[in-house]
Structure 1
Amino acid sequence: MSADVTLLGVRHHGPGSARAVAAALEQLRPDAVLIEGPPEADPIVALAGDKGMKPPVALLAHVVDDPAKAAFWPFAVFSPEWVAVRHAVDHDLPVRFIDLPAAHTFALTGVPSGVPGGTSDGTPGGGSVGDPIAALAAAAGHDDPERWWEDVIEHRAPGADALAPFAAVAEAMTALREDDTPGTGGASRRDVLREAYMRQQIRAARRAGHRRIAVVCGAWHVPALQSMPTVAHDRALLAGLPRLRTEITWVPWTHRRLSQHTGYGAGIDSPGWYHHLFTSPDRPIARWMTGVAALLRAEDHPVSSAHVIESVRLAEALAAMRGRPLAGLGESMDAVRSVMCDGSDVALALVHERLVVGDALGEVPEDAPAVPLQRDLARLQRSLRLKPEAAERDLVLDLRKELDVSRSRLLHRLRMLGIDWGAPSRPAVHSTGTFREAWRLRWEPEFAVRVVEAAHWGTTVQDAACARAADLAAGAAELADLTTLVEQCLLAGLTTALPAVMRVLADRAALDTDVAHLAAALPALVRALRYGDVRATDGSALEGVARGLAERISVGLPPACTGLDTDGAAAMRAHLDAVHTAVALLSPRPAGGAPQDDTPSGATQDTQDTQDTPDTPADRWAGALHALAAREPSAGPATGAPGLLRGRAVRLLLDDGRLDSDEAGRRMGLVLSRAGAPADAAGWIEGFLAGGGALLLHDARLLGLLDDWLVGVPGDTLVDLLPVLRRTFSALEAGVRRTIGERAAAGPLRAAGHPADAEPAALDEARADAALPVLALLLGLPAHAPAPDRPLIPRQPDRRRAG
């Protein structure tokens, strides 16, 4: 360590290291502070002293021409680098970041290597030592490196000589890096380049006339900065490095992201705990237990002051038994589980989520550099009173109110841009109205990158969403993607983008002849027509396309359902349900009117074909379902439809009032007759009962038909049908299944040809008397016991029941 340069090796985001850095800087009183970090941030480092800057925050650097290439440098209140920055700003000292510029590292690797996202102590990614903290802990005889580091660093208060801990850390790191000196094969290339650049910046600070220079860096880099090679050596390493044009700014960060070891995280398991240790220098355990008690009380857990006192005592006792200088997080959580949570891991998980990790979200000043899109988003968040929060929360909007409509449009526009701040959810209070919209909100730090990525679409959220919608329409691969996009445009209020999307939709719909594609596209289009009215948007341009799709589906449905295998039939059944719902929304029946069905009860398809041409999409769709239901497999595999689809068509017609119960029973009887194939009949039943089997309870004739068919299926065939039958009946409501089983167990179910008032079969007394001697023998009665006063009830035949 030279006379004018003091190297303070730290562990990123460590409260003990942060306190040690603060004490060392007070003792050193440097005239310049150099910090490991991207030099591009030097012009905006002074914003750290702004009253609007509240950690956790992060430096965000991105490539100007490719914003997806971005990286963060997170800082929390307990980060040693942040303490150094605030010391320099508060004392009006020169402060510089000295790591390899992000412009170079983006060009070399795509992501800056200095981002604290791996090990949190500056461990090189490819060095021969995996984790120096683990190596030091192992050398000290400890198997838990985190606990060892807390005991020797995080839980220790600075002594009289604030620089002594840094000298010890430097000595330890020097021993670990004996084979990792620059130029050898042990150190990774990126660390060699970074450390060469750091040494260059230290030389530059000396040339600038600074005499007391404090350097705050990862402890791993200290040995490489202590032994300075020649200037020519470092220049040769850095010569000719590629670079990309980058921009940098401050963005809010969260404790939750600090706790993640991958992506944009920092690898801290307990940022909330670390924040508490740094901000509570006196009696941290007692203060921690008080906070835990307050949280549990707010969640209606019975916690008293006595619980707090006992928890503190237990935590301290555990620390003493384990030989620790201070109760750590493990001892504190063990005490909380035993005393406050009564051993419940559910309550303990709440403590971990809210306090150990935490939901803190930082803030940055309004004058921090930002793209125009970010500024427009911040303006909208303020005007709509939608403050970004790290904690997940539910938001229910009433679309009859202008403010809530504007909030809904903003959230939908952000989703169009790939910024999923809000995700649609189910409202806690069930409502059948279309004016209610529920969202689940959570702001994530990486949304700042997505805002930068979306900035090239426009300078405002609305303009960017419109441009993005037009681009998505031009690149849509499926017709369903276009109709979904139309729905999103209406929900987001992107009226200027809608004409361009509609032109592409109309052209694609005119050329697409696949009924499955048309069926997948129609529901979203119809939803847009219906629900767009709640937001006072004009959906007239959609109606013609929607009606055209519905008509083409009705015409092509029966042929499209022939020759399908099991998977194809299942997919088409889902399309049937979706299109049926969509057509009902497209052509609602008159209020209080009767079903629009010109087909008399019991009419066959031939009779249906002689009726007048339907006038509405619902009538055309009903005609298509009639045609589908009549495509029996007896007509040949080329023209027959699977039983699953035929049964579903009959059920939809029955539910819609276009078939009465007698006609549905007649069709079921034909399918379940002995002439029908059992596998086809099982598929028909599955399609017919899908969506609810309560009709079997209200129509004893249908239940009797099904019961008779099941009883008559041969045993070997029944085994093959069991998976389908089990799937069918397991999908029914539990109460329906139970009632069907009770009715089947009570006795034979009367079906067609068995009137309800039919007399039971007469008792053959001669046959009954012949069984009496055997019965008497089984019961241990005298061989010539008198006959009972009343005839025995004949045994019911063995029958397999639907239940």
Structure 2
Amino acid sequence: MSGPLLLGVRHHGPGSARAVRRALEAAGPAAVLVEGPPEADALVELAADDDMRPPVALLAHVVDEPGKSAFWPFAEFSPEWVAIDWALRHGVPVRFIDLPAAHTLAMRARPPRPGRTDPIGALAEVAGYDDPERWWEDVVEHREGEAFTALGEAMAALREAHEAHEAHQAHETQEAHKACETHKACEIQECPGDSVDPDTGWNAVDDHDLVREAYMRLQVRAARREFGDDVAVVCGAWHVPALRRRTTVAADRALLKGLPKAKVDMTWVPWTHRRLARAGGYGAGIESPGWYRHLFEVPDRPVERWLTKVAGLLREEGRIVSSAHVIEAVRLADTLAALRGRPLAGLGETTDAVRAVLCEGSDVPLALIHDRLVVGDVLGEVPEAAPAVPLQRDLSRTQRSLRLKPAALEKELDLDLRGDTDAARSRLLHRLRLLGVHWGEPADSARGSTGTFRETWRLRWEPELSVRVAEAGVWGTTVLGAATARAESDAVAAEALTDVTALAERCLLAGLPDALPTVMRVLADRAALDADVGHLAQALPALVRSLRYGDVRGTDTGALAEVAAGLAERVFVGLPPACAGLDADAATQMRGHVDAVHAAVALLEETGLRERWRTVLRSLAVREGTAGEVRGRCARLLLDEGELADDETARLMGLALSPGTPPAEAAAWIEGFVGGGSGGGLLLVHDERLLALVDGWLMEVSPDAFTDVLPLLRRTFSAYDAGVRRTLGELVRRGPAASGAATALTGIPHGFAEELNPARADAVVPVVRMLLGAGAGAGAGAGVAA
């Protein structure tokens, strides 16, 4: 080697990775320099640990602001990872030479740079490709040896054109800024000259790459002084022309002068293939990490092996795929590659072959193949020796003891809280959620169980959760201690009563007995000061649920029961006056509060509170001035509880639907009584007296009033199941034969008026005749006679 060996690569490119390995084997450099933050030099030895399994990432975060962080991901097919692995196996020093993370994270406060054209995309466009991934496969992945040098030359030409364009734009910017009489008096809302940072003197918008490359050149010079010219540099191909450029040390240091700096910590964290993909939010990613891993791993016949994988996945999903299907798909992929002038079938050709042969033209299985194979759900692992905040170490120990291993593939976890292990798993997941680490999300059980002793979670570990754990580290060194401190802080900071009651519930779910005294004190204070019945009604259900959860988990909830009882008493006293004088929207909201309180009181063990609540319901059901929807709902709740006889129910409905009641108020009563998901449709099906009352009232509504109440009635009856609506229609259609009781009660056949209405009957005759093919021209009378 007569000088530094500059290996320009594409990040996460398997062709580049193989080319780098061959180049290092041939050159045998004395040191390897890799694009990455220098703070990771102390961690590079961990890459050789037997427990380190890519994909992994270097994570840097500001010590005082863990949320300000950055990742540098590596897959096993990343050229940088291959270079690190080669150096460690051969005992060659390896250094990171990119701009330190201390500067990178400190500069995050600056305005983001406008997106620059992807150089790979630009080269692909010049070559006549509309897909950069396909161009890369053709030029590098399948012809890597021929294109390695050509790629560097192409990048140099691209950089030259790009820099010439930027120089022209900078000249126009400076001229525009000079045209302003003064900067402060500039009439342009966003003066072009504002892109120049007055503190550092360098262009914060456009020249971030120039700063990085200046630092890289300084590091290369330092390595050459230490190791001589036998140095290999592995970096993005875009940077190679800049590293070849002859510049002075003083010029490079001038670019770095005055850069902001922050104190950072760095470690290794697991990464996933999903996060390597562009769709996962990583800007330098690839669209098909699973496919690239396959290209890097297989020794030969990549198309045949890939289609065999696809066939295996489809068989696991119950699809019939034979060996003949695979053979035919291979032939089709090779034929498509030849027709398209490609050296070897790529992902596009194999996907087309899979769609046509293995999926029989359907795109539905392709979504599964893309998710499970093309992208993949691989989660890397890092050794225990990797630096970590104490909270992360405690979390890792707890995960191992509970046999709850993080995984990139979403899975459903059913827990039986009567078992010690499952109860501990539940507490851990609830504590993490309280800390903002959403590893698990509660879900509806596939078994349909609603018991409080069961929980269902959906688990998926994302790399960003490592940042959330680092952020949560400010609350404590253990998951239990941190969750307790966070709960106490949230309780003190909470403003709404419902927030505190929800927090009390979460504390019981998470098993935080030390946080409960603070939460209960704040809860009692907020409840004493809050006079809004709606707020109190919203808070009560969460408290009652907490009592039930406490019973399941064996937690002492005596103090919570006292607060819940006091809160219920205040609701009972304040609810009747709060239900008067409500408009339609407020009445609907209050009806929801009544339902919530009713469900909560039913779960309380104190029978005295239940009797008090029934008394409140009776008063609301007959109280004048109470919103119709609330009165109807209270009557229905009493009926369901067996506290209201059928005759009394019919009497209340008759009063609510009497001619003296405004139609809108009567319709609201019906909505409260039989609307929503209350099962009111079945009630009308089985009690035809109530159905007859509703039917009779509806027949008496005037045409103008009917137009006004129709939307509410449609909402009421549209909530019923199709079978219930059909049965109600049949009952109305059958008329006199359907129910003698209804006829006796009203004197009118159920579902019918007293006499036939010829005008209404004649209105449908033309349509009926047209449907029967008899024409619509005959008279109405003839139609009726027919």
- What is the TM-score with the length of structure 2 in the denominator? 0.88
Amino acid at match of 1:674: P
Q: Does 1:222 align with 2:209?
A: no
1:319, distance to aligned residue in structure 2 (A): 1.1
- Are the aligned partners of 1:705 and 1:752 in contact in 2 as well (CA < 8 Å)? no
**What 5-or-longer segments of structure 2 have no aligned partner?**
172-204, 759-764, 770-783
1:92 Cα offset (Å) = 1.2
Q: Which amino acid in the other structure matches residue 69 of structure 2?
A: A
Q: Counterpart of 1:628? A: 620
Rounded to whole Å, the distance in 2 between the matches of 1:28 and 1:555 is 87
Cα 1:551–1:17 change in 2 (3 A) is: same
Task: Give the whole-Å Cα distance in 1 for the aligned partners of 2:57 and 2:110.
Answer: 16
Q: In the TM superposition, what whole-angstrom CA distance separates every residue of 1:383-419 from its partner, at most 9, and x where no partner exists?
A: 0000000001111111111111111111111111111
Aligned to 1:667: 652
User: Residue in 2 aligned with 1:346?
Assistant: 364
Aligned equivalent of 1:544: 562
3-state secondary structure, aligned to 2:22: helix
What's the CA shift for 1:164? 3.1
Q: Which of the residues 721, 738, 745 maps onto 1:733? A: 721
Which of the residues 680, 684, 687 maps onto 2:672? 687
Q: Of residues 133, 141, 151 in structure 1, which corresponds to 2:128?
A: 141
The residue number in structure 1 matching 2:637 is 652
Label 1:551 to 1:393 Cα distance change in 2 as closer, same or farther (>3 A).
Answer: same
Q: Distance in 2 between matches of 1:517 and 1:149?
A: 60
Deviation at 1:588, TM superposition (A): 6.9
Taking a change above 3 Å as real, the CA distance of residues 757 and 100 of structure 1, as seen in their structure-2 partners, is closer
From 705, 711, 725, the counterpart of 1:723: 711
Alignment of 1:524 onto 2:512: no
The answer to whether the Cα contact below 8 Å between 1:708 and 1:751 also exists between their aligned partners in 2 is no
Specify the alignment match of 2:89 in structure 1.
90
Kept in 2, the 8 Å contact 1:257–1:265? The answer is: no
1:76–1:82 CA contact under 8 A, matched in 2:
yes
Aligned residue for 1:556, secondary structure, equals helix
Relative to structure 1, the CA distance from residue 184 to residue 728 in structure 2 (aligned partners, 3 Å threshold; closer, same or farther) is closer
The correspondence for 1:707, drawn from 665, 685, 695, is 695
Shift of 1:254: 0.5
Alignment correspondent of 1:49: 48
Instruction: Decide whether the 8 Å contact of 1:106 with 1:112 is kept in 2.
Output: no
SS of aligned partner of 1:380: helix
Q: Where does residue 437 of structure 1 map in the other structure? A: 455
Q: Secondary structure at the residue paired with 1:727?
A: helix
2:240 aligned with 1:253:
no
- CA distance in 1 between counterparts of 2:106 and 2:13 reads 30
- CA displacement at 1:227 relative to structure 2: 0.7
Q: Is the 8 A contact 1:702 1:751 kept in 2?
A: no
SS at match of 1:51: coil
Question: How far does residue 68 in structure 1 lie from its aligned partner after superposition?
Answer: 0.7
Are 2:323 and 1:334 equivalent residues in the alignment? no
- After superposition, the Cα gap between the structure-2 partners of 1:163 and 1:393, relative to the gap in structure 1 and judged at 3 Å, is closer
AA aligned opposite 1:449: V
1:110–1:34 distance in 2 versus 1, CA, 3 Å: farther
Matched, 1:71 2:70: yes
SS at match of 2:414: strand
Provide the rounded CA distance (Å) in 2 between the counterparts of 1:751 and 1:575.
Answer: 39
Aligned-pair identity (%): 63
- SS of 1:420's equivalent in the other structure is coil
Count how many residue pairs are aligned between Structure 1 and Structure 2. 721
Please tell me whether the aligned partners of residues 70 and 105 of structure 2 are also in contact (alpha carbons under 8 angstroms).
no
Change (3 A) 1:178 1:437: closer
CA contact (8 A) 2:16 2:144 kept: no
Alpha-carbon distance in 1 for matches of 2:5, 2:105: 30
SS of the aligned residue for 2:227 comes to coil
Farther off after superposition, 247-256 or 81-90:
81-90
Structure 1 Cα separation of the partners of residues 504 and 622 of structure 2: 36
Contact 2:391 2:469 in 1 (8 A): yes
Q: 1:744 aligns with which of 725, 732, 743?
A: 732
State the match for 1:755 in structure 2. 744
CA drift at 1:735 = 1.7
| Residue in 1 that maps onto 2:761 | none
Written as runs of structure 1 = structure 2, the 5 A alignment for 1:271-350 is: 271-350=289-368
Unpaired segments ≥5 residues, structure 1 = 114-124, 590-615, 633-639, 769-774, 780-794, 796-803
Give a deviation string over 1:101-142, Cα, whole Å, max 9, x none.
1111221224999xxxxxxxxxxx547x51222221222222
Alignment of 1:80-229 (within 5 A): 80-110=79-109, 125-126=113-114, 130-158=117-145, 164-179=149-164, 185=170, 188-229=206-247
Partner deviation per Cα, 1:12-50 (whole Å, 9 max, x = no partner): 111111112112212221111111111111100111111
CA distance in 2, matches of 1:719, 1:22: 79
> What is the Cα deviation at residue 88 of structure 1?
1.2
Residue number in structure 2 paired with 1:38: 37
> Which amino acid in 1 is paired with 2:233?
V
Instruction: Check conservation: 1:58, 1:74, Cα contact below 8 A.
Output: yes
Describe the superposition over 1:564-605 as per-residue Cα deviations: whole angstroms up to 9, x where unpaired: 22222222221111111000001476xxxxxxxxxxxxxxxx
Aligned pairs for 1:759-778 (under 5 A) are none
AA of the residue aligned to 1:410: L
SS of the residue aligned with 2:69?
A: strand
- Tell me, yes or no, if the aligned pair for 1:56 and 1:362 is still in contact at 8 Å: yes
Residue 67 of structure 2 aligns to a residue whose secondary structure is strand
Alpha-carbon distance in 2 for matches of 1:501, 1:307:
64
Which structure 2 residues correspond to residues 418-567 of structure 1 after superposition, within 5 A?
418-567=436-585
In structure 2, relative to structure 1, the CA distance for the partners of 1:348 and 1:402 (3 Å cut) is same
Provide, for residues 413-464 of structure 1, a one-character-per-residue CA deviation record: whole Å limited to 9, x for no partner. 1111111111111121122432111111111110000000000101000000
| Greater share of residues in helix | 2
Question: Cα offset for 1:180?
Answer: 6.4
- Post-superposition Cα deviations, 1:353-396, rounded to whole Å, max 9, x if no partner, equal 11011100000000000011000000001000000000011111
Three-state SS of the structure 2 residue aligned to 1:694 is helix
Normalising by structure 1, we get a TM-score of 0.86
Counterpart secondary structure, 1:214: strand
Cα distance in 1 for residues equivalent to 2:748 and 2:258: 103
CA distance in 2, matches of 1:721, 1:196: 75
The residue matched to 1:385 in structure 2 has which SS? coil
| Contact 2:63 2:263 (8 Å CA) reproduced | yes
In the alignment, which residue of structure 1 is the partner of 2:602?
584
Q: Matches of 1:461 and 1:57 in 2, distance apart?
A: 24
How far is the alpha carbon of 1:146 from its aligned partner? 2.2
Q: For residues 358 and 759 of structure 1, do their structure 2 counterparts lie closer, same or farther at Cα, with a shift above 3 Å needed?
A: closer
Secondary structure of the residue aligned to 1:71 is strand
Task: Decide whether the 8 Å contact of 1:296 with 1:303 is kept in 2.
Answer: yes
CA apart distance, 1:344: 2.3
Letter in structure 1 aligned against 2:637: L
Question: 1:539-562 CA deviation, whole Å, 9 max, x = no partner?
Answer: 111000000111100110111122
Q: 1:759, 1:659 → 2: CA distance? A: 26
8 Å Cα contact 1:397-1:436 kept in structure 2: yes
Take 2:642 and 2:618, find their aligned partners in 1: how far apart are those partners?
Answer: 13
Classify the secondary structure of the residue corresponding to 1:68: coil
